[in-house]
Amino acid sequence: MKVLLLGVDGELGWPLALKLAKAGHEVIGVDNLSTRRMAYESGTDSVFPLPSPAERVMEAKRHLDVDINFIIGDITQPGLLKDLIRKFRPDAIVHFAEQRSAPYSMKDEEHAVFTIQNNLIGTMRLVYAVKEVDPTIHIVKMGTMGEYGTPNFDIPEDIEVEAEINGKRDRILVPRKGGSWYHWSKVFDTDVLYYANQLWGLTVTDIMQGPVYGTRTSEIVHESMRTRFDIDEAWGTVVNRFCAEAVIGHPLTVYGKGGQTRGFISLEDSVTAVKLLIEHPPDQGKYRVVNQFAEVYSVRQIAEMVREAAEKVGLGKVEVHHLENPRVEKEEHHYNPTRRILPSLGFRPTRTLRDEVPYMLEDLLPYKERIERFREGIPPKTTWR
Q: Which residues bind a second copy (CB under 8 A)?
A: 78, 108-110, 112-113, 116-117, 120-121, 124-125, 128, 132, 151-154, 156, 161-166, 168-170, 172-173, 175-178, 181, 184, 187-188, 191-192, 195, 198-200, 328, 384-385
Nearest distance from C-beta of residue 33 to a second copy, angstroms:
23
Rounded CA gap, 142 and 208, in Å? Answer: 7
> Three-state DSSP class for 215?
coil
Q: Point out the catalytic residue in the list 107, 186, 367, 382.
A: 186
174: which strand partners? none
Q: Is 144 labeled as catalytic in the residue annotation?
A: yes
Which among 253, 257, 215, 228 is positioned nearest to 375, based on CA atoms? Answer: 253
Judged by beta carbon, residue 65 or residue 324, the one nearer a second copy is 324
Nearest distance from C-beta of residue 343 to a second copy, angstroms:
19
Q: List Cα–Cα distances, 174 to 102, 180, 217, 378, in angstroms.
A: 21, 18, 33, 35
Q: Is 35 labeled as catalytic in the residue annotation?
A: no
Who's near 161: CB < 8 A, 6+ residues apart? Answer: 171, 172, 173, 174
Who's near 317: CB < 8 A, 6+ residues apart? Answer: 311
Who's near 201: CB < 8 A, 6+ residues apart? Answer: 135, 284, 285
> Three-state DSSP class for 325?
coil
Judged by beta carbon, residue 324 or residue 369, the one nearer a second copy is 324
Q: Is 182 labeled as catalytic in the residue annotation?
A: yes
Q: Point out the catalytic residue in the list 104, 148, 182, 287.
A: 182
Nearest distance from C-beta of residue 379 to a second copy, angstroms:
21
Nearest distance from C-beta of residue 168 to a second copy, angstroms:
4
Nearest distance from C-beta of residue 211 to a second copy, angstroms:
22
Q: Point out the catalytic residue in the list 76, 144, 237, 272.
A: 144
Rounded to 10 degrees, what is the CA torsion of 94, 73, 117, 90?
-30
Q: What residues are labeled active site?
A: 144, 182, 186
